[in-house]
Amino acid sequence: MKGEADFIAALRAIAHHPAARMLNDDAAVLAIGSETLILTHDMIVEGVHYLPDQDPADIAWKLVATNLSDLAAKGAKPVGVLLGYMLGENDTRFLKGLRDILNTYDVPLLGGDTVSSGGASRTLGLTAIGTATSTTVPSRTAAMPGHGLYVTGRLGAAMMGFEALRNHIPNIDNTVYRRPIPRLTEGQALAPLVSSMMDISDGLLLDSWRLATASNVTLAIKSQCVPIAAPEERRYDALSWGDDYELLFTAASDTSLPVPATRIGEVKERNGAPLLLDSNPISDPAGLGYTHN
């Protein structure tokens, strides 16, 4: 066994509950009585998800935003969060960023746990809980042949911001890298209309590959149609670096979309590879996006 994908594949043998959606989705979908809870947990690690010298207020923002993004992908309304915190050098700034994002999205802090690092690399976790807002909670498994493939926003902004921050380049906006915006309103508006939806955390191409695999379809993507926030010569990087937290979804072509989104391709019956990038079949996910090894 090696790396994230193999470990999650092994976990699938344990995660039998239908709410786990075979670990093939952004969040668990747990029906309780007449309510449907949406549950997700994401961690961030110093040096892996954020730069060691970053303002802890931004780290708090990103930790909450990346989890709310998974709720957004299921069209959920946040109910609250639980924080797993490792004490650091400026906990007051962390609390400032935490208050900022929880106030911005009106999300209560419900609890959590606090530990000291003991010298280990700093790792923070967050569990976000939401409730479904549409009767069918969008999944990754129901993309329908004939439907269009769409993305919100522009991709590559996080990559550009990261590089600017790391290399101390002024005049390049790094806000999207430091403080991503979870597409909660968009997710709720889209949820009743889409055939499938997910957020893009690991890069458009890898996450499209996952969507195609989960739905057993082929996604034909026209790379030139994807709006990017990076120089043209960085287009492939913008499509594969990740950290943009936009929504990727499929919908019937005649759907009147309630939020701005760009059609970047279409869903086809599976014929060979899960992805067709500018008509080139791609059947190996290596190099398409970010994975933990």
Ligand X SMILES: Cc1ncc(C[n+]2csc(CCOP(=O)(O)OP(=O)(O)O)c2C)c(N)n1
Which residues of this protein are in contact with ligand ADP, per CB under 6 A? 8, 11, 23, 25-26, 42, 70, 201
Q: How far is the CB of 54 from ligand X (least distance, A)?
A: 8
- Specify the long-range contacts of residues 26-31, CB closer than 8 Å, at least 24 apart: 26/70, 26/73, 26/74, 26/140, 26/198, 26/199, 27/70, 27/71, 27/73, 27/74, 27/76, 27/130, 29/74, 29/132, 29/137, 29/139
Q: Report if residue 186 touches ligand X, rule: CB under 6 A.
A: no
- Of the candidates 239, 223, 200, the residue with the CA atom closest to the CA atom of residue 277: 223
Token couple for 263: 């059609």
Compute CA 20 distance to the chain's CA centroid, rounded to the nearest angstrom: 17
25 annotated to a ligand binding site: no
Which of 42/243 has CB closer to Mg ion?
42
Q: How far is the CB of 289 from Mg ion (least distance, A)?
A: 13
Pick from Mg ion, ligand X, ligand ADP, none: which does 225 bind, CB < 5 to 8 A by kind? none
Which of 42/244 has CB closer to Mg ion?
42
- Of the candidates 174, 152, 170, 150, the residue with the CA atom closest to the CA atom of residue 162: 174
Token couple for 273: 């590879």
CA angle at residue 284 from 68 to 242, to 5 degrees?
30
**Residues of this chain, 137-166, that bind ligand X according to CB under 6 A:** 162
Which of 60/276 has CB closer to Mg ion?
60
Work out which of 242, 248, 257, 267 binds ligand X, going by CB under 6 A: 242
- Summarize as ranges the residues that interact with Mg ion (CB under 5 A): 42
Q: How far is the CB of 139 from ligand X (least distance, A)?
A: 17
Give the three-state DSSP class for 220.
Answer: strand
Evaluate whether 225 touches 264 at the Cβ level (below 8 Å): yes
| Residue nearest to Mg ion as judged by C-beta position | 42
Q: How far is the CB of 73 from Mg ion (least distance, A)?
A: 11
| CA atoms within a 13 Å half-sphere pointing along the CA-CB vector of 292 | 11
Q: Report if residue 50 touches ligand X, rule: CB under 6 A.
A: yes
Q: Report if residue 49 touches ligand X, rule: CB under 6 A.
A: yes
284 annotated to a ligand binding site: no
Q: Which residues are annotated as a binding site for Mg(2+)?
A: 26, 40, 42, 70, 113, 199, 202
